[in-house]
Structure 1
Amino acid sequence: MQSGRSIMTENDISTRLAAVRGRIAAAAEACGRPSSDVQLVAVSKFHPAESIAHALEAGQRIFGENRVQEAESKFPTLRTRWPDLRLHIIGGLQTNKALAACRIADVIESLDRPPLSDAIARAGDRLGRLPDLFVQINTGDEPQKYGVPRAEAAAFIDATKRRFGDRVRGLMCIPPEDQDPRAHFAWLARTAREAELPAISMGMSADFEAAIAEGATLVRVGTAIFGARPAIGA
């Protein structure tokens, strides 16, 4: 269960959201882009529904969750009050969670292998709907991370587009922590352009300005909005 950490107040989250939006606008302006080019995905993983409600009250509508089961515990109730919210699944997705992910999510950002494509296709057939899809690329070719290896990215993107058509909206990456992320961001943006995909999800709390400079159309920000993740205990 969660520790005794106090939940941030609505005013706290509203203030933090305003600051992040201001930073997004400044970063976009610095590279000659309108701030409307960049969508903010508020990463709410491990944070309670009450904190998400505070962000919704402050006007935020796009949220990111890593775990399908956690998203299922929070978002159906929130949707009854804010039906226009959009939920992105941004964490590595197991094939046995594909049906639940397709049922609850508006966007899956972590499509990265053929078996998951198969599972999502079956889920779409069963549900009669598919969320938008992003291909996640492991730009650092790190063995511990999800994502298509760089060398396989072009072929996988092409196969995914043939299978899912315009449901494939863009690319996503999480650069290595010990490297300058700019080269990874630039590579992902170039790959998206070559694939004629309009959306590029990259950049988090520590580096989203750099991602915007390289062409991000979505940035995934958690800590800067909601504070440190609550400690999770047994």
Structure 2
Amino acid sequence: MTETATRLSRVRDDIARAAKSAKRDPADVTLIAVTKQRSLAEVEPLIAAGVTDFAENRVAEAAEKWPNLRATHPGLKLHMIGQLQSNKAEDAVRQFDLIHSLDRPSLLAALVAAAEKTGRTPGVYVQVNIGGEDQKGGVSIEELPDFLDRVRASTLRLEGLMTMPPLGQQAGPYFALLAELARRHGVGGLSMGMSADYPTAVMLGATAVRIGSALFED
């Protein structure tokens, strides 16, 4: 077994254990491999091992890396997880199947216009600034109900909520709060959990975990 396969198996096992502990079906959790700043040589073994969902945080890097890969490997899904400028909305809509960082009305309007122009309608996660951090993007908890109404009234597909807990703090309470917000507002998807905390996220309801360093040997 290759090092990549070993790491992937370990992550999948962790997800399965956490899901079963929470009386959930592991199949309800999507493993998204975060491949920002990773080479094709690092990405291709994951595809060969059956990973179908990948994420980038820059539109330009995705444009360089993924067109050929997607042409030769039909069925892959590409997720945008980085902060997205409104003037990059059309490029993002052309490349990504899901966008996890919708966080303001101007970006919503730009994505709707891009979807109309391109004929592609990506799924979107509303990013919630769960810790109220000034340096992070995301809708505040107070603004979330009105913003969700706007997204639902648009032509985009609302997939769920996304968050990144504050660094250096226990992630569990923030994941639990996002799950409660999702229940309160009738939202099904929860994009939460990265390499350092994905088992906790799965136990608290994550439907998509974004895994980078746990899959790669640095």
TM-score by length of structure 1 reads 0.90
The RMSD of aligned alpha carbons is 1.2
Which amino acid in the other structure matches residue 123 of structure 1?
A: A
Aligned pairs (5 A) from 1:70-81: 70-81=61-72
Could you tell which deviates more after superposition, 170-179 or 149-158?
A: 149-158
SS in 1 for 2:142: helix
Q: Which residue of structure 1 lines up, in the alignment, with residue 41 of structure 2?
A: 50
Q: Which residue of structure 2 lines up, in the alignment, with residue 188 of structure 1?
A: 178
Quick check: 1:44–1:226 contact (8 Å CA) kept in 2? no
Measure, in 2, the Cα distance between the counterparts of 1:151 and 1:198.
19
Which amino acid in the other structure matches residue 177 of structure 1?
A: L
Q: Which residue of structure 1 lines up, in the alignment, with residue 208 of structure 2?
A: 218
Q: Once the 2 structures are TM-superposed, how far is the Cα of residue 197 of structure 1 from its aligned partner?
A: 1.8
Quick check: 2:128–2:163 contact (8 Å CA) kept in 1? yes
Aligned pairs (5 A) from 1:99-114: 99-114=90-105
| 1:110-152 CA distance string (max 9 Å, x none) | 0000000111011011101211111000101111111111211
Q: Once the 2 structures are TM-superposed, how far is the Cα of residue 227 of structure 1 from its aligned partner?
A: 3.2
**What are the ranges of 5 or more consecutive residues in structure 1 without an aligned counterpart?**
1-9, 229-234
Q: Once the 2 structures are TM-superposed, how far is the Cα of residue 102 of structure 1 from its aligned partner?
A: 0.2
Measure, in 2, the Cα distance between the counterparts of 1:227 and 1:199.
30
Quick check: 1:173–1:202 contact (8 Å CA) kept in 2? yes
Measure, in 2, the Cα distance between the counterparts of 1:100 and 1:227.
31
Which amino acid in the other structure matches residue 95 of structure 2?
A: I
| 1:16-45 CA distance string (max 9 Å, x none) | 111100110011111111111111001111
Quick check: 1:132–1:169 contact (8 Å CA) kept in 2? yes
Quick check: 2:121–2:155 contact (8 Å CA) kept in 1? no
Could you tell which deviates more after superposition, 85-94 or 147-156?
A: 147-156
Which amino acid in the other structure matches residue 226 of structure 1?
A: F
Q: Percent identity?
A: 44
Q: Which residue of structure 2 lines up, in the alignment, with residue 119 of structure 1?
A: 110
Q: Which residue of structure 2 lines up, in the alignment, with residue 163 of structure 1?
A: 154
Measure, in 2, the Cα distance between the counterparts of 1:31 and 1:107.
26
Is 1:17 paired with 2:8?
Answer: yes
Q: Which residue of structure 2 lines up, in the alignment, with residue 202 of structure 1?
A: 192
Measure, in 1, the Cα distance between the counterparts of 2:152 and 2:192.
20
Which amino acid in the other structure matches residue 59 of structure 2?
A: V
SS in 2 for 1:191: helix
Which amino acid in the other structure matches residue 182 of structure 2?
A: A
How many residue pairs align between the two structures?
Answer: 218
Which amino acid in the other structure matches residue 36 of structure 1?
A: A
SS in 2 for 1:42: strand
Task: Identify the match of residue 178 of structure 1 among 168, 173, 182.
Answer: 168
- Structure 1 segments, 4+ long, off by >6 Å, are none
TM-score by length of structure 2 reads 0.97
**What are the ranges of 5 or more consecutive residues in structure 2 without an aligned counterpart?**
none
Q: Once the 2 structures are TM-superposed, how far is the Cα of residue 201 of structure 1 from its aligned partner?
A: 0.4
Measure, in 2, the Cα distance between the counterparts of 1:148 and 1:183.
18
Task: Identify the match of residue 129 of structure 1 among 100, 120, 126.
Answer: 120
Q: Once the 2 structures are TM-superposed, how far is the Cα of residue 194 of structure 1 from its aligned partner?
A: 2.0
Quick check: 2:85–2:107 contact (8 Å CA) kept in 1? yes
